[in-house]
Amino acid sequence: MERPIGIFDSGVGGLTVAAAIKKVLPGESFIYFGDTQHAPYGDKSAETITRYSENITRFLLSQNCKAIVIACNSASAVAYSTLVQKFPQTVILNVIDPVVEFVATVTRGKVGIIATRATIQSGIYEKKLLQLNPKMEVVSAATPLLAPLIEEGFMHTDISQGAIREYLDDSKFNGLSTLILGCTHYPLIEREIQHFFGEKVSVVDSPELVARKLGKTLAENNLKNPATVADYRFYLSEKTTAFSSVARMFFGEGINLTEQRI
């Protein structure tokens, strides 16, 4: 129960999930791994993303983690089933299922998804949404520049606003009622995306939904930590200034970042 949760992403995106876990499950410690050396994942092949994900999972398990959260949609889309198969004793969560379950039950009207190429090409959101709600109208678009520009720290700039306009000013999004941010980097520019669409579109992101699902899953597996204080450790495969500044923004100045190759 006292062991930490392992959380990973290609870089800063998964910090949005880690921050929600800290808020929703304040007694849970975690070890975060950002694979900055290999970011972005979204343009890599399924084989490559799966190989990185497997190596990171092995590293996190070697650090005694009790559960793994794949805080990356691209890895959740292409590597989740392999990880579940290779680590059958470990509780593994992806970031896609909690969002699909939420949207399929509460949403009426047209749903849009924006994500990396790897996630969009996998078709996983459409498949899972339509399984739960066959009548749902779903449109999607790959927005491959958004994660790298966030990884480089260009949030809330003309660059991020220009890229959002370029990708989202598309007639396929006309009449949208809900937009899923299918990449854990995107909550860092959520305000800008919401501003582009206006209040009529509800923007759904994964961090809080994933944190709640994690709480439920830990309880079901008798893994919930009864502690009231938690410990957070951060590893990244290559130190970057953007990672340090986003990690400090969420977790304070005192955090410890360790470089770790995988």
- Name, in order, each residue with C-beta under 8 angstroms of 70's C-beta and a sequence gap of 6 or more: 8, 53, 76, 79, 80, 83, 92, 93, 94, 95
Q: What single DSSP character describes residue 189?
A: G
Closer Cβ to ligand DGL, 74 or 240, answer by number: 74
15 near ligand DGL, judged by CB under 6 A: no
Q: What single DSSP character describes residue 4?
A: P
* Of the residues 39, 168, 247, 262, which one makes contact with ligand DGL according to CB under 6 A: 39
205 near ligand DGL, judged by CB under 6 A: no
16 near ligand DGL, judged by CB under 6 A: no
41 near ligand DGL, judged by CB under 6 A: yes
Closer Cβ to ligand DGL, 43 or 101, answer by number: 43
The interface region with ligand DGL, picked from 34-42, 53-61, 99-107, 163-171 by CB under 6 A, is 34-42
29 near ligand DGL, judged by CB under 6 A: no
65 among known catalytic residues? no
- Name, in order, each residue with C-beta under 8 angstroms of 61's C-beta and a sequence gap of 6 or more: 6, 68, 87, 90
Nearest to 209 by CA among 96, 68, 83: 96
The nearest distance, CB 79 to ligand DGL, in angstroms, is: 11
| Interface positions, 147-166, toward ligand DGL (CB under 6 A) | 147
Tell me the β-bridge partners of 91. Answer: 67
* Of the residues 13, 34, 112, 187, which one makes contact with ligand DGL according to CB under 6 A: 13
Q: Active site residue: 67, 145, 183, 188, which one? A: 183
Instruction: State how far the Cα of 201 lies from the Cα of 111, in Å rounded to an integer.
Output: 9
* Of the residues 73, 94, 122, 237, which one makes contact with ligand DGL according to CB under 6 A: 73
Closer Cβ to ligand DGL, 13 or 112, answer by number: 13
* Of the residues 29, 50, 53, 74, which one makes contact with ligand DGL according to CB under 6 A: 74
Q: What long-range pairs does 102-109 form, CB within 8 A, spacing at least 24? A: 102/204, 102/209, 103/129, 103/178, 103/180, 103/204, 104/128, 104/129, 104/132, 104/133, 104/136, 105/132, 107/136, 107/177, 107/178, 108/177, 109/137, 109/175, 109/176, 109/177, 109/178
53 near ligand DGL, judged by CB under 6 A: no
Q: H or E stretch including 96?
A: none
* Of the residues 29, 50, 82, 116, which one makes contact with ligand DGL according to CB under 6 A: 116
72 among known catalytic residues? yes
DSSP string, 97-125: HHHHHHHHHH--SEEEEEE-HHHHHHTHH
Number of residues near ligand DGL (by CB under 6 A)? 16
Q: Active site residue: 5, 49, 56, 72, which one? A: 72
Please list the active-site residues: 72, 183
Which residues contribute to the site for ligand DGL (CB under 6 A)? 9-10, 13, 39-42, 72-74, 116, 119, 147, 183-185
